[in-house]
Amino acid sequence: MPKLTIEQLDLAGKRVFIRADLNVPLAGGEVADDTRLRAVVPTIQYALKAGAAVVLASHLGRPQGKVAREYSLRPVVDRLEALLGQRVELVPDCVGPETLARARSLKPGETLLLENLRFHPEEEANDDGFARELAALADCYVDDAFAAAHRTHASIVAITRYVQPAAAGLLMQQELSALGRILQSPERPLVAILGGAKVSDKLALVEHLLGRVDALLVGGGMAFTFLLALGHAVGRSLVEADCVETARAALNAARRRGVRLVVPLDTVVAASVDSASGRAVGIREIPPDQMGLDIGPRTCETFAAMMRTAQTVVWNGPMGVFEKTPFAAGTLGVARAVAEAPAFSVVGGGDTIAALAEAGVTERIGYVSTAGGAFLEFLEGRRLPGVEALTEAPV
């Protein structure tokens, strides 16, 4: 069902609790990558311009339910202030009398940032009492943290029992719209590209996508389990032996459904990931003492050719150990092919997004998802607790 959005709320004079994803990488006490901060800024600005006071909340890292200075949101404040062009006050806790008093004294146009939600174990426990305390800080609730929507946490699910309405922020809307476009009404042909190290992480996704896509292109370490299932010797390449039968079943299912499940034709091999160079060999020619660490040029061109005829493309997972220069060409080649495709493209996952940036093609992608786990679970067809908790839009 369509969810209520921030644009449907009357925010004038209200305190709005915005659950954001400010879980950014830090280096030397400063924000190393502000992508997620920039992504939530439009929602904060929308609320402020509508006459609301903003109570902003997020987690950062995994402090295991304890106060830990290295996980404080303090470094986020400076960058947020620069992006918003106004002051953001950080309160030392996310609940308690001092926080409640400060939230209630907020004036329209002001922004208050709560300290790390995960300093309290009750957050990840989806604790009812903790959620009630968070809800007391505001008059309405907006969730703009799609990247955390697969978590059943207090600031995402339980809070919506005590503060209504609960609406989607602008970023949440964009994510749901882009991913919904893939799963519900894609323009065809629909091509999915999956990579990454482990096939076990993607089996549910493979099975779900086989019922929806026209072609599934498999690269990365996970491809070698499929190659082994097809009877190929893969040398010392990464293989999950307990997933071989499942991979074989997926190949058979693709055949029955008329879906093209394409595995690599060639691979770049080397003795180890630390080798200074590699060489491309056909799949039937992998030396027994070497491992495949990237898709080869023939595979890259095959994938690119299929994308040139696609109308919708979704990509998650690198094609090899792309953080190592000798084994980066395949992933970067696929990134460029996705960017050049005439299709509507959606890309998600931290490594995959990093590859887009390295290839210099981020701006040419239809939609770049800020999410990792939530992106995959949505594509698997799972219901996301953070989305389910939002108020349904009026008919």
Task: List, for residues 6-17, the tens digit of each pLDDT value.
Answer: 999 999 999 999
CA atoms within 13 A of residue 352's CA, in its CB half-sphere: 30
Start and end residues for every CATH 3.40.50.1260 domain found in the chain: 6-173, 186-379
d(CA 230, CA 236): 16
Task: Give helix 170-183 / helix 35-49 axis angle, nearest 10°.
Answer: 120
| CATH level 3 topology of 6-173 | Rossmann fold (3.40.50)
Is residue 130 over pLDDT 80?
Answer: yes
Which of 15, 19, 36, 151 is flagged as catalytic?
Answer: 36
Listed residue (91, 41, 106, 94) closest to 65, CA to CA: 94
pLDDT tens digit sequence for 82-103: 999 999 999 999 999 999 999 9
Confidence band of 363 (pLDDT split at 50, 70, 90) = very high
Is residue 1 over pLDDT 80?
Answer: no
Q: In what helix (H) or strand (E) does residue 336 lie, and over which residues does it extend?
A: helix 329-340
Which of 13, 29, 129, 350 is flagged as catalytic?
Answer: 350
Span 42-51, average pLDDT? 98
pTM assigned to the model: 0.88
The one-character DSSP state at 14 is -
Which of 61, 65, 372, 373 is flagged as catalytic?
Answer: 373
The one-character DSSP state at 394 is P
Respond yes or no: is residue 132 known to be catalytic: no
pLDDT at 182: 84
Per the CATH hierarchy, to which homologous superfamily does domain 186-379 belong?
Phosphoglycerate kinase, N-terminal domain (3.40.50.1260)
pLDDT at 325: 95
Do 272 and 258 touch, CB atoms closer than 8 A? no
Residues 6+ apart with CB under 8 A from 208: 379, 380, 381
pLDDT at 180: 85
Respond yes or no: is residue 36 known to be catalytic: yes
d(CA 303, CA 217): 7
Which of 198, 236, 257, 364 is flagged as catalytic?
Answer: 198
